[in-house]
Structure 1
Amino acid sequence: MSEQGPLRDWLVALRTPGIGPTGLRERLAAANGRIGEVVARLRRHAATLGVEARSWLEQPDEARLAADLAWLGQPNHRLLCCIDPDFPPQLEAIPQPPVALFVAGDACLLLRPQVAIVGARSASSAGKTNARAFARQLALAGFVVTSGLADGIDGAAHEATLEAGQATVAVIGTGPDLVYPRKHRELSARVVAQGALVSEFPPGTAARADHFPRRNRLIAGLALGTLVIEAGLQSGSLITARLAGEQGREVFALPGSIHNPLARGCHRLIRDGARLVESASEVVESLVPAARALGAELALRLERAPPASAGSSGPALGGWHDDPDYRRLLDVLSHDPLALDELAERTGQTAAELSSMLLMLELEGWVEGLPGGRYQRLPRL
């Protein structure tokens, strides 16, 4: 996607009114993934489309396309398309999957096991404290914490993850160049520097009420499980939780006081089948099988993916096998269990770094996690 021609075709197609991700995916399938052919067919059959679509295809707004290309030309900015080998496979399983994502930051994080933490914008101080504690512990356990950059629970989860030195993903309901709410401008910049900011909407797209349910389906779809911390009965977080359940993902909820209106949404989720949790370890334990399955799916995709070429649209999928830090950790690990602090002392790495590495090794069957925060190396046949 380094060539401007295909990239411009993608932008033209994405901005064509009335097509949408489902329609564009259908046209891509019919054109064997050739976006240039999709745009050519749209133009040939423009008379069958709406007035706005026909006008756009006949005379696209060149200034808008130039602005899109300028944004994508900045370091660590990318249009991640569904035909790319590193497009998140977990999104293919959701209803109305996105056809492309605008990403600022590290797009590879979208392939790692994620946990969504969502909740009320008007969260209580206790709710934000819980969000921070769960986010930190889940991040140190090796999960990427994903949320929506909203005020309240979302912001607290992002901030705690960043403060722990770990990666977080923010899925937003505006274009990737805008920040909503504006008070999170600095937080957004920190997310981009240390994680990834993701949007389905092109640059310049302002916040609209109908954008946020679409954003919520991506949060639920990217994550292996969704944790709801404080939510009223009309909270958008309940939409995210419902979508997660419909997508076959785990839903967790924190209970609260019966006198707290922001606990009622969580209590309803629990009555409807969400798992009541009181500690991050319960979430981790529940999601390890799903994380292993995601790792196996990515490994299979790696085997099937063609070799990366100079004209590749994005970074090739890579592994940890040639990373000296991973090799050092494996050399230190033995078949006798070792505690995390002992591994940190022997490898010279922090507990946060080791937690992430150990999860990856556990997913690929190299390491077994044991009660008490101990790990041992598994025999390889």
Structure 2
Amino acid sequence: MSQERALWFTWSQIPGLGPILQKRIAQHFGSLAAAWSAEPDKLLAVDGIGLKLAWAISEHRPRLDLDAIQQAPGSFITPADAAYPELLYEIPDPPPILYYQGKLELLSACQQRPAIGIVGTRNPSDYGKRWTRRLTKTLCRAGFPIISGLADGIDRIAHESCLEANGNTIAVLGTGVDVFYPYRNRDLYREIGQSGLLLSEHPPGTQPEKVHFPRRNRIIAGLSRATLVTEAPRKSGALITAKLANDYGRDVFALPGSLDNVRCHGCLDILSQGAQMILREDTLVEALGAIPVAPAVPSAKVCPDLPAPLLAVFQAITVEARSLDAIVPQVSELSTGDILSALTQLELMGLINCVPGTQQYQLCPE
């Protein structure tokens, strides 16, 4: 386990330090390694950290055995891992730890084709069931990965339909990846754990708690380029996912339904608020296909005369801003200090920009 990967895990164990502050610390200091030895007065410069928390962090750090954590095994990824989705790291509170079971390479598939979140009520009507199956299979045949929450109802139908169509499906859980909830979905859990991917920010063995599921929804929205609500009443948790997706600047679609069916009222509400209406499968596929995916890493041929260390760092930069934590794992042969030096040189050469007020870097426009 690399030091930066271990530090994401270690910082997450500090009481009172949630995902929002952990990301802010990484951005402020450039890396969690640089922040590890920071004095309380330096930590106070991070927005959201007060004197009490700064001292609590300073006092808690010596109790954590970083060396032991680096040696510990575990099926999880952090923002320091190349497999961690950049799209998820864009949200304000990306999970510092993602435990997984199954095919981790499916996260890479989401970089090739926009992943689509499909959510809705736990008690769908025949109309909701039929159209969820139909839309899911159509999207799978078009190559879109499907993400949902493995709850009863729409979630279950979306996962099952995806597997039936030999598509790629990712289930984001509100429990540990080894906990069946609801228990009646255990066969589907096992199938996704073998053929798809189970993800959770909670350690193995974590039992369901009410607060876990709204938090789970932010990960579904964060992983998805677009979110589809196929059927949902006004108080459905699916609407939380849709709102978060909209807040993150992602596309939101909804299936219209009858005014006589209360299970459609949530969809009708978000349609009135600007969600895109699903009227035909072919136009939906066309609209989703127009959504950009993560940009490809630029070719080394763009700048052939760079020395090897600079070229390695340059190849890790994209047209979208990337944090140092996302860059470091891509250039594992260099130290963080060498990477920072290379970034400075590339910026002086006019090849990359540092986003003002952040520790994020992007390619200069051609």
Encode CA deviations 1:237-296: one digit per residue, 9 max, x unaligned: 111111112222111111222211101111111111112213332221112221xx214x
Closer, same or farther: CA 98–82 of 1 in aligned 2, 3 Å = same
Q: CA deviation at 1:179?
A: 2.7
Distance 1:128 1:42 in 2: 56
Equivalent residue number for residue 97 of structure 2: 100
Q: Does 1:273 align with 2:270?
A: no
Aligned partner of 1:18: which letter?
Answer: G
Q: CA deviation at 1:301?
A: 10
Given candidates 304, 307, 319, the residue that maps to 2:315 is 304
Q: CA deviation at 1:12?
A: 3.0
Equivalent residue number for residue 185 of structure 1: 186
Closer, same or farther: CA 50–144 of 1 in aligned 2, 3 Å = same
Verify the 8 A CA contact 1:78 1:103 in the aligned structure 2.
yes
How many residues get paired? Answer: 298
Encode CA deviations 1:151-182: one digit per residue, 9 max, x unaligned: 10000100110111111011112222323222
Question: Alignment partner of 1:117: what SS?
Answer: strand
Verify the 8 A CA contact 2:5 2:80 in the aligned structure 1.
no
Question: Alignment partner of 2:81: what SS?
Answer: coil
Verify the 8 A CA contact 1:12 1:39 in the aligned structure 2.
no
**RMSD (Å) for aligned C-alpha atoms:** 3.5
Equivalent residue number for residue 31 of structure 2: 33
Gaps of 5+ in 1: 313-381
Distance 1:311 1:180 in 2: 43
Percent same amino acid at aligned positions? 37
Equivalent residue number for residue 294 of structure 1: 293
Verify the 8 A CA contact 1:8 1:69 in the aligned structure 2.
no
Aligned partner of 1:304: which letter?
Answer: Q
Aligned partner of 2:293: which letter?
Answer: L
Matches within 5 A, 1:135-146: 135-146=136-147
Gaps of 5+ in 2: 44-50, 301-313, 317-326, 336-366
TM-score where L is the length of structure 1 = 0.68
Question: Alignment partner of 1:107: what SS?
Answer: coil
Question: Alignment partner of 1:178: what SS?
Answer: coil
Verify the 8 A CA contact 2:99 2:202 in the aligned structure 1.
yes
Encode CA deviations 1:210-246: one digit per residue, 9 max, x unaligned: 2222211111121111111110110011111111122
Distance 1:24 1:69 in 2: 21
Verify the 8 A CA contact 2:226 2:245 in the aligned structure 1.
yes
Q: CA deviation at 1:42?
A: 8.7
Verify the 8 A CA contact 2:245 2:251 in the aligned structure 1.
yes
Aligned partner of 2:153: which letter?
Answer: G
Distance 1:207 1:56 in 2: 28
Distance 1:56 1:151 in 2: 41
TM-score where L is the length of structure 2 = 0.70
Verify the 8 A CA contact 1:22 1:99 in the aligned structure 2.
no
Verify the 8 A CA contact 1:228 1:252 in the aligned structure 2.
yes
Distance 2:186 2:240 in 1: 25
Distance 1:301 1:78 in 2: 30
Equivalent residue number for residue 158 of structure 2: 157
Verify the 8 A CA contact 2:136 2:158 in the aligned structure 1.
yes
Closer, same or farther: CA 243–57 of 1 in aligned 2, 3 Å = same
